[in-house]
Amino acid sequence: MRMKEGLIFEKTVSGRRGYTLPALDVPEVSAQELIPQRYLREREHQLPEMSEGEVVRHYTRLSTQNFGVDLGFYPLGSCTMKYNPKINEDLANLPGFLHLHPLQPESLSQGALRLMYELAEMLGEIAGMNRVTLQPAAGAHGELAGLLMMRAYHEKQGNPRKHVLIPDSAHGTNPASAVIAGYSVQAIRSNKSGLVDLEDLKRHVNEDCAGFMLTNPNTLGLFERDILQIQKILHEAGGLLYLDGANLNAFLDLCRPGDMGFDVVHFNLHKTFTVPHGGGGPGAGALGVGERLVPFLPVPTVERDGERFYFDYDHPDSIGRLHGFYGNFGNLVRAYSYVRRMGAPGLEEVSRNAILNANYVRKRLEGFYPIPYNRPCMHEVVLSAKRFRNKGVHAWDIAKRLIDFGIHPPTVNFPLVVDEAIMIEPTETESKETLDHFCDAMIAIAKEIEENPEKVKGAPLTTAISRLDETKAVKDLDVRWNPLS
């Protein structure tokens, strides 16, 4: 049953109580006698007044109006959140980890330091990078760290350079990070195959180019097959190659960025390595670097001396500290748990299944939705809703209609190089039955658009609230604790 749930303050009934304190068995003393006047409130508190049952029902109903990966298919995939094994939560909540204090002495934090050291080693091996820092608090934070290290490296060479190259299919955080790091941005065109246009790249690479930020596989789900030629073009001009690791789920233990010539790669631990994420964090944007960038790593680094682990601040060329302490530690525990449980064979299976599932979806839907770059893809496939525009239906309408089938809306209108884009990333954990349910829903919606487009344009039809003014909902928040005050 779906119904609109009012605010808890709208349900209040004066005098109703959810909990009653026992009678005093000590002499009563007024708050004024115990607390200085300046700390006392000037007016009565305004808490809602409800019975326990009413409170439980209110919050239980609210909880059913949310949608998450534990409830149904989430075609945003690792881009936002793939399935997170619950054992990761159990381990992150072990008392020895949960009650750690960030100012605890190194001698009392050896287990945590060892975990961070070993996680960095494992990520370095996975990506083929010399060193890894776990400090960045999110993927974009990792991007900024990588670019600041890139700048520090070029300054050490005597020329900080002026601009960073970014493909026209890049994630929006890439140009933002480059600008914050002090660079101007130049876009590199995609060619007819949806890959980096090498001739356009050559026209932009020169002695002012600090580096190239590339996502591989790219946001069309396609592997940049000219990657070795791309790294050669960059390196011969003295530039560096940066990998946006948002799509790393596609080639765990199949190939390594370091072997492709990347100098920097950030890991979205809150994506590929099953750390819960959404609603703004917390994330974890670990960053791996090749040998030439090691001197510029953020401090402190975690080092090992025999069986002892310690923080090392002695890095004179470091870009400095990036985080209040040393990263979002609970997330590091979750990622560590995931990598240790999976092992190399398990990680390889993750990527193979993610690729298989994306291509299964591609083949089932290719007769119903245009696929601009329709060839074997990696872990995601990008459809287009352009053909439905003459019916007044857009990609976001299809995404909204999927909610009525119990499916979370996918990413739409991205990447920008595809008109009316619908990006599907099923990930490795979904069964054939789930994928078939999704594909059946997409096919049913395509038929609905032909027969009754208004139905799709009015979706969702089964939720407590249908269409919102999305801009107003995001930018004009009303988060007062008491709307009646």
Check residue 379 and give its pLDDT.
95
Check residue 372 and give its pLDDT.
95
Let me know: does 239 contact 205? Beta carbons within 8 Å. yes
Residue 145 pLDDT greater than 60, yes or no: yes
Cα dihedral 151, 153, 159, 160, rounded to 10, equals 0
Percent pLDDT > 90 in the chain is 81
Check residue 248 and give its pLDDT.
94
Quick: pLDDT tens for 312-370: 999 999 999 998 888 899 999 999 999 999 999 999 999 999 999 999 999 999 999 99
Let me know: does 188 contact 197? Beta carbons within 8 Å. yes
Q: What's the rounded mean pLDDT across residues 286-309?
A: 97
Let me know: does 239 contact 210? Beta carbons within 8 Å. yes
Check residue 472 and give its pLDDT.
87
Residue 302 pLDDT greater than 90, yes or no: yes
**Confidence band of 276 (pLDDT split at 50, 70, 90):** confident
CA 285, CA 303: separation in Å to the nearest integer?
A: 20
Quick: pLDDT tens for 149-197: 999 999 999 999 999 999 999 998 999 999 999 999 999 999 999 999 9
